[in-house]
Structure 1
Amino acid sequence: MKRTVFLLLLIFTAGAVYAAGQDRTASADKLWREIDDASLQRRQLPRPIIPDAYRTFTLDKTALGSVLRKAPMEFTEAARNNLPVVTIPMPDGAFARFYIEESPIFESGAAAKYPEIKTYRARGIDDPAATARFDFMPTGFHAIVLSTKGTILVDPYAIGDASNYISYFKSDAERNGEFACDVRNDGGVGEFTSIPDLFGDAPNVVSGANLRTYRLAVAATGEYTNVFRQSGDTDAQAKARALEQMALIMNRVNGVYEREVSITMRLVGNQDVIIYTDPATDPYTNENGAAMLSQNQSNLDSVIGTANYDIGHVFSTGGGGVASLRVPCGSGKARGVTGLPFPVGDPFAIDYVAHEIGHQFGGSHTFNVGNGSCGAQRSAGAAYETGSGITIMGYAGICSGQNLAGNSIDTFHVKSIEEIVSFSSGTGNVCAVATSTGNTPPDVTIEQTGLTIPKQTPFFMTATASDPNGDALTYDWQEYDLGAPALSAANNSDSDGQERPIFRPYLPTTDSTRTFPRLQYILNNANVPPTLTGSRLTGEILPSISRTMIFQVIVRDNRFNGGGVRSRAATVNIDATSGPFAITTPDTAVSWAGNSAQTVSWNVAGTDNATVNAQNVKISLSTDGGQTFPTILAASTANDGTETITVPNVNTSQARIKIEAVGNIFFDISGADFTIAASTTASRKLFDFDGDGKADVSVFRQAGGIWYLLQTQNGFTGAQFGTNNDKIVPADYDGDGKTDLAVFRSGVWYLQRSQLGFTGIQFGAADDIPAPADYDGDGKADVAVFRPSTGTWYLLQSQLGYTGIQFGQTGDKPVPADYDGDNKTDVAVFRDGTWYIQRSQLGFTGIQFGFGTDKAVPADYDGDGKSDVAVFRDGAWYIQRSQLGYVAVAFGQTGDLPAAADYDGDGKADVAVFRNGTWYIQQSQAGFTGVAFGTTSDIPVPNAFVY
């Protein structure tokens, strides 16, 4: 492989004065303190790595050494039960905690030979899915953290500075230049049978029950060693510096191999004898990778002994990368070369060394570029990644014009995992030492497979997984399709009629669902991602031809001493005669009123045909710009292109509509944020039977089940609805602004809706307390009950469907109301003078207000849109108003029935009582009034939910 690398500028200035940086924050264990690196820059020490973004920290080396000395050896009883904790600085300035154990980089017995070099593996505490590798040696501390956020690196600030460090993302330290890898299909062991040949086109990979350890001999050319030689060094000192670098590199490589394919490598005990210091006398042609393949094989067999190592490699400063396939354990096991002019950092460790060793373990190139220098190295049987590829066996940063990124991500493509696991568990297993990890790989299922979707339409894939060991799982959805090579950036699609991979891999995530394409391209690019993002290939293009696509999900359990991995495959059929399925209204920045009826329309685009067969769709609303869609507007309606919905009564300027096929995986999201303005009359609808915004004087006479209403707009009316002993449950069930007649009887709701007519609903049990209210904020009261025997709420929301909520205990009184003013009723209970409220927007609160014998009368007494806690006791009202504070009002007598409501329509609840057929009302705007309406035995309707 040939590659030229631009070296980072190393600035040397003698005599610079060091002053400690300004203290910012320190880790809880006092190991790390963030500093300003301005003073460090003035020292002008040589810096091999200068990322685009990083944070600078100073390390208490003595304290760290004390913690590391407590780390137990891997696979011991102590390692299973008692791991010390260390903190690592993060690029965002935070400090992450890790459990650590010692994991030697040298084979057994050699640790005493190199006591100054210590290596460790770690697993995340704050992020259980994170794994890490650390080292501690004379040149300082180094760390690599593999997480769903990206690869995080901690390295010394400058050469020779073991006290100050930078923490950065690998993506912020992209390499420059060119590199090419030459793969030789020679020197392997026996015949290789790939997993696809055994099990079909989309195999399921399983790995992780055993950790396979290989003895690794890595030679160094004199040129490589001299990169790290410092002025005045003896050859022995130069060797020691090179050995530290080699240990650092392989420790990082092991972190990836252990997680991905349950393989680890240990440097042979006499590693130092193959580290050469004189380019003139070493046995290698430093600039010729092909020549070094055979030179390394001969040299290692002679110097180390063919029986004393399992896999060999050589580091150089020229010759690029070249390796033979499937060679460990065999006669060609040393045929691997990695050479760069400045061989340091994670790009060298992962993009180059891990890549070349991947070839040696059987991994082929996975990129799909078919021209230029990349085209010559394309592996047609493994080219599953679009463009340059971005996993370890891809060519990220190498294929000009088709690069997905400047560096690879620290994962393998599922094809690479197949190849490496197949080899290491087969012919490559004969020389490995297998250690049982006690780890059982995850269980994985995919329900949506074999479905047909329309062309050029977003879709999603979801996996369900569990882990027998309780490990933290991550999900990695990858396309698994071969096809025609891509000859340009624009060619990375199937618009030319040829099948090829069109979706790139990403870092694993804790989300089991992947959306194709990424949500940002659906929301911002009308489902058409740009071919290039900056100078990088975007790598996500929706299919436009009829084809069958294969996707695999890799589920990792991220066990730090031998990761469990399992993959599952699923197919998606593309129908080019249908699609794109697309929302047409709303698709611009319109404004809708809360509680209004609006039309949603979409282009069915043939998706109701016999092939796609999507007969129904689900319509949902987002109020956060399309990030989530918690509000269901229609759970299942005909896929006929139009639906009238009731707009939820919310305030948002970031509304989006999503329409998705019921029983399928395709969907669309409206193309722009739009506005919803909540109706301000929502809180005035209680006990308002004529919809004029004023509560009506009204009673229910149980004898005969008759309602008598004195409506402020429509006058007197009477209606027979219900029977003796029914519990009245008046509320606005159809969202038209008018309270509906309704009763609850033995677990059955009988509703006479003013707009939608009669309905009966079986919901609840005879002893439940009915608690109807608008819990989902759509302007319609929801059927709901509180079960006092268990303290459980059961809601049948008109928009969000059924839910059960454990909130309360036996004997509590339900007091649902909108306490945080978001137009959604909150579940709440009153118990022995304390209010327990679970606010939908502001969360839980508890308020001591009242006595256990009080009548709870929550309502919005100050007109700020929030219900206030209030009680009625012996003719007095005690109110804690959310805006105006506490007030006590003497109004009524002992034995009166409180009947608070907004009788004058000013948005404020009025105190009122019912006594022996007479209403006494203190209106906040219109003043006092008394109304004779009803008989002594009647139930005042506004008292319906007072307990």
Structure 2
Amino acid sequence: MASRFYFKQEYQMYRLKFPSFAIIVFTMVMFATINISAADEGIWSRIDAGNLRKSAVERTQTPDRFAVFSLNKEILRQLLDKAPEEFTGGGDLILSLPMPDGTLARFAVEHSLVVEPGLLKKYPELGATYRGQGIDDPTATVRFDLLPSGFHAYILSSTGTTVVDPFSANMPDVYMSYFKSDARKTEDFTCEVDGNGFGSISEVKSAKREERFVPEAAPEVISGTQLRTYRLALAGNWEYCNVVGAGTTAGCLAAQVVTMNRVNGVYERDLAIHMNIVANNNLIVFATDNTTACGGVACTTNNDGYTNATGSTMLGENQTKLNAVIGTANYDIGHVFSTGGGGVANLQVPCTTSKARGVTGRGNPVGDPFSIDYVAHEMGHQWGGNHTFNGASGSCSGGNRSAANSYETGSGITIMAYAGICGNQDLAQNSIDTFHVRSLEEIVAYSQTGTGNNCAATTPTGNTPPTVTGPGNFTIPIQTPFALTASATDTNGDILTYDWQQYNTGGSTGTSAVPNSDGDGTARPIFRPYLPSTSGTRYFPSLNYILNNANIPPSTYDCGGRATPCLTGELMSSMNRTMTFQVVVRDNRANGGGINTATSQVSVSSLAGPFSVTAPNTAVSYTGGMSQTVTWNVANSNLSPVNAANVDILLSTDGGLTFPTVLAAATPNDGSQSVTIPNVGTATARIKVQATGNIFFDISDANFTITASSFTVSGRVFGQGGRGVRNARVTLTPVTGSPIVVFTNSFGQYSVANVPGGTYTITAAGRRFAYAPQITPIGSNLSNVDFTPTP
């Protein structure tokens, strides 16, 4: 406990020693600000990006959409001085952070270091790192810092990942907030500091990883009760320090802190793993001014001990260097950052004698792609994670593919896949910041029950992982949409997210075909992963393709203006096979996330299908309240092995997004059913026919119109001898809804206006006579609906 507060004391001493760091200088631009809620404490002000003068130094990341803010660093720093230390139970500090839509989102934040006390004592400015939990969005977690190089934030959320970075190197008080998905992978921009530009993207992950046997993992992955902290010896060769730190040791260390703060954000949420940079890390960053690290002379490319262009060579160089300088007893995992040679790492090395065998090299080693696509990926190998892609083009070809772990279609898109570097097999330009369930199995097994647990410092998180229940196992027709729904509970009351992933490998060779279908008879993965969602239901294919593409997703899509489009990564099966799906449920705790998983199997039968709605299936118009016939192609789905004897027929009035109205429940699966259309006005109606007790369904291909109707019904109630009955009670009772009641006049006449269309049971009741009820469809004005006494 005392050491945590010592960290903060060192950081506060740094602020007193260097007060100029807190001064805000507006020299680059006259800001036109937009008022935001007072909840931001005056820290952030929205800027009209059109008023920004073009920076003399261009950004390395220019997203398609973004919001620009000015930052009052002094107010922010004063507020952060009040942040409680992690795991102390201190009161919450609420901080607002800028979002891509121009709004501010609130977080409860705490001080959380990524360096050891010894390094902080030498470089107190490295202590300004924090983590936070979302308030407006409880699924959001954030890792951010306030260093001499500026403010940097990385926000993980079910709504998408947000990045906040300096707008430009020469605009120190201007920041850009954007969704990670809006950032293009490009080499057209120079970096924000002097140094080399982007290297070849195809080289970044081109080196073959060394793999070894991984024990078979348990089918259920549970993690989150303890946070495991490891000591990280993180070298930076001369080329890296020259690019990110202008040749200074302090600048190089600060860049490493920014990267590891982001990496820790993902590892803490998904794996409950945290890594702290070791106390003597200044001795292994080979900046030009670091004469101590290079024998009393300035460090250069010739005396730093690393072969920058060859990652595989650097594996051994780093192991030797870290053992000699840091000492094998003084670190748990080692890595080196460079600007060349790609990425390469050994599997399962923390806590072993090979623990320093990890390299990440990129020409522009800053920002989100470097931190998540490359560093988190290479360290993932060290923690035991294999490659998870199934594609065989570009960098996915050759020895990079792991046949035993090829769970993702194409390039894959999770951290241990190869998004953006596999040519026509790319699912996207950059990865999403989650691990595939296979990676979770491997890394959790190694870090919690394997050798990786031998050197961990554990801290109880007070978190209980969620409990999850899957939907079970089903058999469905070929080429038919389906949906999987999981339910989960959390004893801590955390807001949960759900991440459904296919769990089938692609065989021995992979594929370079477009699309990645199973039409050739190979049971490969055909459904890509997505970011976690607060909904426990995932549609296969995505609902967008069901509603707008008649269940058939396009093979490719434009993923950012590049010459080769990306794979859509979703296809319905067209062969006999059994697909396995796992759902990962996260509680998204910032200080050590809890996860749990459940498995379901979906068997596809070519003896049935496609199951499809045939009417209404075009833009027809129906009158509300009237009877219509819904038809569908049964396609043997009522027979073995599918055995769907009954179906439910549902109505949507919002274009198929929701289906709250049941038109028929458990009606025979015979292809036709008469239903009463509710008397609601809409131009966006859809019909859904789903198998009762199963997961497959179809939705009509086009919106149709329902015209809400109202009519007038009139008549007369007679007594004996043909005379009208006064004050007789006439009741119109619809199939659904409330009855309408009127009384006759002195001549026995009644009239009811504004009667919604539909089928009604009309009854009359008098004091002296009985009358037979009439079942009458009302689709127009009706008169002479008369009643005479029953014999």
Report how far residue 904 of structure 1 moved: 11
Q: Matches of 1:363 and 1:708 in 2, distance apart?
A: 74
Query: Could you say what secondary structure the match of 2:52 adopts?
Result: helix
1:320 aligns with 2:329: no
Judged with a 3 Å threshold, the aligned counterparts in structure 2 of structure 1 residues 134 and 709 are, in CA distance, closer, same or farther, namely closer
Q: Matches of 2:598 and 2:174 in 1, distance apart?
A: 45
Query: Could you say what secondary structure the match of 2:53 adopts?
Result: helix
Aligned with 1:754 (options 774, 779, 785):
774
Aligned with 1:105 (options 99, 105, 114):
114
User: Percent sequence identity over matched residues?
Assistant: 52
State the partner residue of 1:410: 433
State the partner residue of 1:151: 161
1:736 aligns with 2:759: yes
Report how far residue 733 of structure 1 moved: 12
CA contact (8 A) 2:119 2:282 kept: no
Report how far residue 742 of structure 1 moved: 8.2
Query: Could you say what secondary structure the match of 1:49 adopts?
Result: coil
Report how far residue 779 of structure 1 moved: 8.6
The higher-RCO structure (CA 8 Å, 6+ apart) is: 2
State the partner residue of 2:22: none
1:392 aligns with 2:402: no
Q: Matches of 1:523 and 1:751 in 2, distance apart?
A: 50
Comparing 484-493 with 266-275, greater Cα deviation is found at 484-493
State the partner residue of 1:36: 48
Report how far residue 516 of structure 1 moved: 0.5
Higher helix fraction (1 or 2): 2
State the partner residue of 1:578: 608
State the partner residue of 1:139: 149
Report how far residue 23 of structure 1 moved: 1.1
State the partner residue of 2:207: 182
State the partner residue of 2:556: 532
State the partner residue of 1:240: 250
AA in 2 matched with 1:332: S
Q: Matches of 2:146 and 2:468 in 1, distance apart?
A: 38
Aligned with 1:381 (options 395, 398, 404):
404
Q: Matches of 2:401 and 2:114 in 1, distance apart?
A: 33
- Structure 1: 5+ residue stretches without partners: 1-15, 702-706, 719-730, 744-749, 757-777, 781-901, 906-947
Q: Matches of 1:598 and 1:121 in 2, distance apart?
A: 57
Q: Matches of 1:99 and 1:561 in 2, distance apart?
A: 12
Comparing 589-598 with 209-218, greater Cα deviation is found at 589-598
AA in 1 matched with 2:498: Y
State the partner residue of 2:242: 226
Q: Matches of 1:247 and 1:733 in 2, distance apart?
A: 67
Q: Matches of 1:733 and 1:34 in 2, distance apart?
A: 51
Q: Matches of 1:366 and 1:62 in 2, distance apart?
A: 45
Judged with a 3 Å threshold, the aligned counterparts in structure 2 of structure 1 residues 133 and 676 are, in CA distance, closer, same or farther, namely same
Judged with a 3 Å threshold, the aligned counterparts in structure 2 of structure 1 residues 640 and 273 are, in CA distance, closer, same or farther, namely same
- Structure 2: 5+ residue stretches without partners: 1-25, 187-200, 288-299, 559-564, 719-723, 731-740, 785-791
State the partner residue of 1:333: 355
1:496 aligns with 2:496: no
> Cα deviation per residue 1:679-704 (whole Å; 9 max; x = unaligned)?
132xx4599989xxxx9964259xxx
Report how far residue 660 of structure 1 moved: 0.4
Report how far residue 668 of structure 1 moved: 0.3
CA contact (8 A) 2:759 2:775 kept: yes
Aligned with 2:424 (options 378, 394, 401):
401
Q: Matches of 2:63 and 2:749 in 1, distance apart?
A: 78
Judged with a 3 Å threshold, the aligned counterparts in structure 2 of structure 1 residues 742 and 340 are, in CA distance, closer, same or farther, namely farther
Judged with a 3 Å threshold, the aligned counterparts in structure 2 of structure 1 residues 688 and 629 are, in CA distance, closer, same or farther, namely farther
Across the aligned residues of Structure 1 and Structure 2, the Cα RMSD in angstroms comes to 3.0
CA contact (8 A) 1:589 1:672 kept: yes
State the partner residue of 2:230: 214
State the partner residue of 1:475: 498
Judged with a 3 Å threshold, the aligned counterparts in structure 2 of structure 1 residues 222 and 689 are, in CA distance, closer, same or farther, namely farther
State the partner residue of 1:90: 99
Report how far residue 601 of structure 1 moved: 0.4
Q: Matches of 1:709 and 1:62 in 2, distance apart?
A: 77
Query: Could you say what secondary structure the match of 1:142 adopts?
Result: strand
CA contact (8 A) 1:734 1:753 kept: no
Aligned with 2:728 (options 688, 699, 714):
699
> Cα deviation per residue 1:710-758 (whole Å; 9 max; x = unaligned)?
699xx9699xxxxxxxxxxxx9999335633589xxxxxx9975228xx
1:45 aligns with 2:19: no
Report how far residue 486 of structure 1 moved: 4.1
Judged with a 3 Å threshold, the aligned counterparts in structure 2 of structure 1 residues 257 and 708 are, in CA distance, closer, same or farther, namely closer
CA contact (8 A) 1:139 1:161 kept: no
> Cα deviation per residue 1:639-667 (whole Å; 9 max; x = unaligned)?
10001111111111111100001010000
Report how far residue 408 of structure 1 moved: 0.2
State the partner residue of 1:918: none
Judged with a 3 Å threshold, the aligned counterparts in structure 2 of structure 1 residues 71 and 742 are, in CA distance, closer, same or farther, namely farther
Aligned with 1:509 (options 533, 539, 561):
533
1:272 aligns with 2:272: no
State the partner residue of 2:7: none
Aligned with 1:519 (options 536, 543, 550):
543
Higher radius of gyration, 1 or 2: 1
- Trace 1:588-737 onto structure 2 (pairs within 5 A): 588-681=618-711, 684=712, 698-699=727-728, 735-736=758-759
- Trace 1:3-14 onto structure 2 (pairs within 5 A): none
> Cα deviation per residue 1:559-612 (whole Å; 9 max; x = unaligned)?
110000001111111111100000111111111111121111000000000211
Report how far residue 86 of structure 1 moved: 0.5
Aligned with 1:567 (options 597, 611, 616):
597
Q: How high is the TM-score relative to the length of structure 2? A: 0.84
Q: Matches of 1:340 and 1:163 in 2, distance apart?
A: 27
1:430 aligns with 2:430: no
Report how far residue 520 of structure 1 moved: 0.8
> Cα deviation per residue 1:802-850 (whole Å; 9 max; x = unaligned)?
xxxxxxxxxxxxxxxxxxxxxxxxxxxxxxxxxxxxxxxxxxxxxxxxx
AA in 2 matched with 1:481: N
CA contact (8 A) 1:458 1:668 kept: yes
Report how far residue 38 of structure 1 moved: 3.7
Query: Could you say what secondary structure the match of 1:217 adopts?
Result: strand
Q: How high is the TM-score relative to the length of structure 1? A: 0.71
Judged with a 3 Å threshold, the aligned counterparts in structure 2 of structure 1 residues 741 and 386 are, in CA distance, closer, same or farther, namely farther
AA in 2 matched with 1:268: V
Query: Could you say what secondary structure the match of 1:283 adopts?
Result: coil
> Cα deviation per residue 1:904-929 (whole Å; 9 max; x = unaligned)?
99xxxxxxxxxxxxxxxxxxxxxxxx
State the partner residue of 1:288: 310
Q: Matches of 2:760 and 2:624 in 1, distance apart?
A: 12
CA contact (8 A) 2:56 2:170 kept: no
State the partner residue of 2:259: 249
Judged with a 3 Å threshold, the aligned counterparts in structure 2 of structure 1 residues 358 and 751 are, in CA distance, closer, same or farther, namely farther
Query: Could you say what secondary structure the match of 1:185 adopts?
Result: coil
CA contact (8 A) 1:21 1:39 kept: yes
Report how far residue 227 of structure 1 moved: 0.7
AA in 2 matched with 1:526: A
State the partner residue of 2:175: 165
Report how far residue 162 of structure 1 moved: 2.7
Judged with a 3 Å threshold, the aligned counterparts in structure 2 of structure 1 residues 656 and 357 are, in CA distance, closer, same or farther, namely same
Judged with a 3 Å threshold, the aligned counterparts in structure 2 of structure 1 residues 629 and 160 are, in CA distance, closer, same or farther, namely same
CA contact (8 A) 2:626 2:758 kept: no
Q: Matches of 2:386 and 2:380 in 1, distance apart?
A: 8
Q: Matches of 1:501 and 1:315 in 2, distance apart?
A: 33
Q: Matches of 1:99 and 1:149 in 2, distance apart?
A: 18
> Cα deviation per residue 1:195-225 (whole Å; 9 max; x = unaligned)?
1xxx4xxx11000011110100111110111
CA contact (8 A) 1:139 1:160 kept: no
Judged with a 3 Å threshold, the aligned counterparts in structure 2 of structure 1 residues 688 and 570 are, in CA distance, closer, same or farther, namely farther
State the partner residue of 2:736: none
1:25 aligns with 2:48: no
Report how far residue 493 of structure 1 moved: 1.2
Q: Matches of 2:455 and 2:771 in 1, distance apart?
A: 77
Judged with a 3 Å threshold, the aligned counterparts in structure 2 of structure 1 residues 600 and 65 are, in CA distance, closer, same or farther, namely same
Comparing 579-588 with 731-740, greater Cα deviation is found at 731-740
